[in-house]
Structure 1
Amino acid sequence: MNRPAILIVEDEKKLSRVLQLELEYENYQTQIADNGTDALQLIETKNWDLVLLDIMLPELSGLEVLRRIRRNDQQTPVILLTARDQVYDKVSGLDSGANDYVTKPFQIEELLARVRVHLRQQNKKNKLYTGDLHVDLNTRQVIRSSSEIELTPREFDLLIYLLQNKNIVLTREQLIEKVWGYDYAGDTNVVDVYIRYLRQKIDKDFDQKYIHTIRGVGYMIKDPSE
């Protein structure tokens, strides 16, 4: 099982080292950046499960780093590390997209608890399911009835969009736009072809069928519990 990766952005070397030791003791992967510029470079080159971000940083402030993160990434949890008297920065940070903050000096147990909460929440967001069909967005693993199903990248993207909109009828045009992209210039019949591929892998060997054709309109995944 992969260990969650946490980026520590903190210029106080003693504090960053303590955080690193405590987090690694809890079986997290960690890396330290001691300024805003290095933090952004690390964020651009690796997928992080969570970022601990000090507000007072050299080169680029923590708030500026946060704003740049949120331009392209609305998902990765960010916990701000703030000084006791920085009320304005706390508000600005939350308004800029931070998920949480802890005030220095803090108890490490409190920080670890907040890390666990946000990682659990993020883990739930990265999983989709209907009935006995489960998809992990992080690992791109697809499982039905305890058996793993191998999908091509396009099949996976199509399945994800159908699951994200389960119980909603999606037209071929909608699927082309969201899965193939705005600039796709081919025939919409490609959707029918890939739906057939998905059915062969997802539904063929099961009595319960998830992928449904709505004649004259499009396709949907129907949740059996609804």
Structure 2
Amino acid sequence: MRVLIIEDDLLLGESLKDYLENNGIECLWISNERKLEEALSLSEFDVIVLDLILRYSKGEDILRNLRNKNVKTPILIMTAKNSIKDKETCFNLGADDYIIKPFDPKEFLLRIKALSKRAHLPEKIKIGDVEIDLENQIVLKDGKEVKLTKTAWTLLYYLIKNRGKVVSNENILNYVWHDKAVGDEVIRAYIKELRKILPDGSIETFKGRGYKLN
């Protein structure tokens, strides 16, 4: 899971980032909301955590803009604003959840996990004779477990999350390898590994563009 936190309180932002990473969740924290577009262009996120009181913008305006741009990522509002009117405004603008400061970090973690599950994929999916347990990261072929490397699993998950759509090589590199200096040939090597497991024709190549999981 990958989470984006938009929070200008340096102590809180760093603490939440450390807490999520200690619980096995990748996290990008930005303290300057003007860097949001850059963050969204670099990677995809499973959940966005948004403070309402920021240095340069209102969180409500950011929320509105994200939904107007058809960003479907679940958004958790994290704020000291505790009135019903504030909550109503955010939910009407497209927020998925709302947590009031101060809060228990465990509750924060549970809400993020719940949002990620709710918005994206079922716990298990089948592709031909292959069953994929997304919750436990297990792949079964004809009932027998197939071992995948962490990188191969991340690539498979990304293709599943975008199944039916062509995903570009650039987006794959950003999601799976982040800032590591690797090229398209590495993607091809891992696609080849996945094709050995999945039924024929499951992964379609679009030359010069990317791949699609059918």
- TM-score tier (shorter): 0.5 to 0.7
Give, as a single letter, the amino acid of the residue that structure 2 aligns with 1:122: A
Unaligned ranges ≥5, structure 1: 160-226
1:48 Cα deviation from its structure 2 partner: 0.9
Higher relative CO (Cα under 8 Å, sequence separation at least 6) belongs to 2
Distance 1:85 1:68, change over 3 A: same
Superposition RMSD in Å: 3.3
CA contact (8 A) 2:130 2:198 kept: no
Pair 1:139 & 2:189 matched: no
SS at match of 1:58: coil
Q: 1:152 aligns with which of 184, 189, 204?
A: 204
Higher gyration radius (CA):
1
**Distance in 2 (alpha carbons) for counterparts of 1:158 and 1:49:** 19
Give, as a single letter, the amino acid of the residue that structure 1 aligns with 2:27: T
Give, as a single letter, the amino acid of the residue that structure 2 aligns with 1:42: A
**Distance in 1 (alpha carbons) for counterparts of 2:111 and 2:101:** 14
Give the equivalent residue in structure 1 for 2:96: 99
SS at match of 1:30: strand
Q: 1:115 aligns with which of 106, 112, 115?
A: 112
**Distance in 1 (alpha carbons) for counterparts of 2:118 and 2:128:** 21
| Cα deviation digits, residues 116-135 of structure 1 (max 9, x gap) | 11112234269765775668
1:56 Cα deviation from its structure 2 partner: 0.6
What is the TM-score when the length of structure 2 is the normalising length? 0.60
Distance 1:40 1:87, change over 3 A: farther
SS at match of 1:14: helix
| Cα deviation digits, residues 90-137 of structure 1 (max 9, x gap) | 211111111101001111111111111111223426976577566898
Percent of aligned positions with the same letter in both sequences? 25
CA contact (8 A) 1:77 1:98 kept: yes
* Matching of residues 40-59 of structure 1 within 5 Å: 40-59=37-56
**Distance in 2 (alpha carbons) for counterparts of 1:44 and 1:127:** 29
Q: 1:17 aligns with which of 10, 14, 18?
A: 14
What is the TM-score when the length of structure 1 is the normalising length? 0.57
**Distance in 1 (alpha carbons) for counterparts of 2:44 and 2:15:** 23
**Distance in 2 (alpha carbons) for counterparts of 1:110 and 1:49:** 17
**Distance in 2 (alpha carbons) for counterparts of 1:73 and 1:138:** 22
Unaligned ranges ≥5, structure 2: 135-155, 164-195
The worse-fitting range, judged by mean Cα deviation, of 133-142 and 30-39 is: 133-142
CA contact (8 A) 2:17 2:28 kept: yes
Give the equivalent residue in structure 1 for 2:75: 78
**Distance in 2 (alpha carbons) for counterparts of 1:73 and 1:66:** 11
Distance 1:71 1:84, change over 3 A: closer
